[in-house]
Structure 1
Amino acid sequence: MIDTQIETGTKWLATAGLRPTRQRLTLASLLVGDGRHRHVTAESLFEAARSDGASVSLATVYNTLRAFCEAGLLQEVTVDGSRSYFDTNTHDHPHFFWEDEGRLSDAPSEDLVIAQLPDAPEGAEIASVDVVIRLRKKT
């Protein structure tokens, strides 16, 4: 891994006050080391780490992704109730889910208009609104 990727990962962890353990630093560097936003699954990040020569278990990847979400470094996007993607862009924005490829990408937020939301039930407040637009190739 390139030193600048490690430095970027270290700074990213520091913004959330997370201790840069070896596993966290390895995964953080893969997630944000090149400065680009990405959408990953635990499995795809695990494979990327293994391909990079890192010794990390899938359970560690899951636990680390959860810790990153809790620290506000990642946004979890659930597309079908059982498959989660983790987004390094934590700002509110819609997503495209490419069903044929099993891939998540950002959708242009400037084109999305939500005119009104229903009132939250008594004693509750709306925490967030997730927009996932499912796409498939035309036949």
Structure 2
Amino acid sequence: MNAQTSTQRHDAFLREQLQRAGLRATRQRLGLAELIFGQGERHLTAEGLYAEALKEGLRLSQTTVYNTLHQFTEAGLLREILADPRRIYFDTNVDPHHHFLDEDTGDMEDIPAEGVSVSALPTPPDGKSIEGVDVIVRVRRSA
């Protein structure tokens, strides 16, 4: 009974989060939201999430996963991190911070915003202002 009540509260919380973000709480969105947000803060790729969804028995297409991740990002629920042209990560921590990217494993780890100092930024083009600075520190296993 307690586990079911807890699950129902979690489902209601996810449904409310989606609705607050202006997204309909469809079965597919709720299933993906559970996978994305049910494990705490983390970094994920569309391919990895699709594999998790299949393993959990969710019936959806890879396109649905991509679209949902982008909808969640546009709604402010996720942060998109373009690590390089081949890798896009989605971060459940939307607060300002930076990242370590392990080039050997592809794993990404948070660096607190105050853990990096950036100075002497260039003047932005006319009519533009700096919105933020994202630092990705690439690491590799020492030889």
Give me the TM-score of the superposition, normalised by structure 1. Answer: 0.90
Identity, % of aligned pairs? Answer: 45
| Residue 125 (1) aligns with residue 135 (2) | no
**Bigger-Rg structure (1/2):** 2
Q: Structure 1 124/110 Cα, relative in aligned 2: closer, same or farther at 3 Å?
A: closer
| Residue 77 (1) aligns with residue 88 (2) | no
| Residue 22 (1) aligns with residue 27 (2) | yes
**Alignment match, 2:107:** 103
Q: Secondary structure at the match of 2:80?
A: strand
Q: Distance in 2 between matches of 1:79 and 1:118?
A: 22
Q: Distance in 2 between matches of 1:109 and 1:82?
A: 25
Q: Distance in 1 between matches of 2:48 and 2:110?
A: 18
Amino acid at match of 1:56: L
Give me the TM-score of the superposition, normalised by structure 2. Answer: 0.88
String of CA shifts for 1:89-125, please: whole Å, max 9, x gaps.
1111001101000111112333211233111012222
| Aligned 1:34-73 pairs, distance under 5 A | 34=39, 36-73=40-77
Deviation (angstroms), 1:129 = 1.4
Preserved contact between residue 93 and residue 109 of structure 1 (Cα < 8 Å) = yes
Deviation (angstroms), 1:51 = 0.8
Point out where structure 2 has 5 or more consecutive residues left out of the alignment.
1-6
Q: How many residues align?
A: 137
Alignment RMSD, CA only? 1.5
Q: Distance in 1 between matches of 2:82 and 2:51?
A: 20
Deviation (angstroms), 1:28 = 0.6
Amino acid at match of 1:72: G
Q: Distance in 2 between matches of 1:24 and 1:49?
A: 11
Q: Distance in 2 between matches of 1:102 and 1:111?
A: 21
Decide which of 107, 116, 131 is 1:112's aligned counterpart.
116
Q: Secondary structure at the match of 1:30?
A: helix
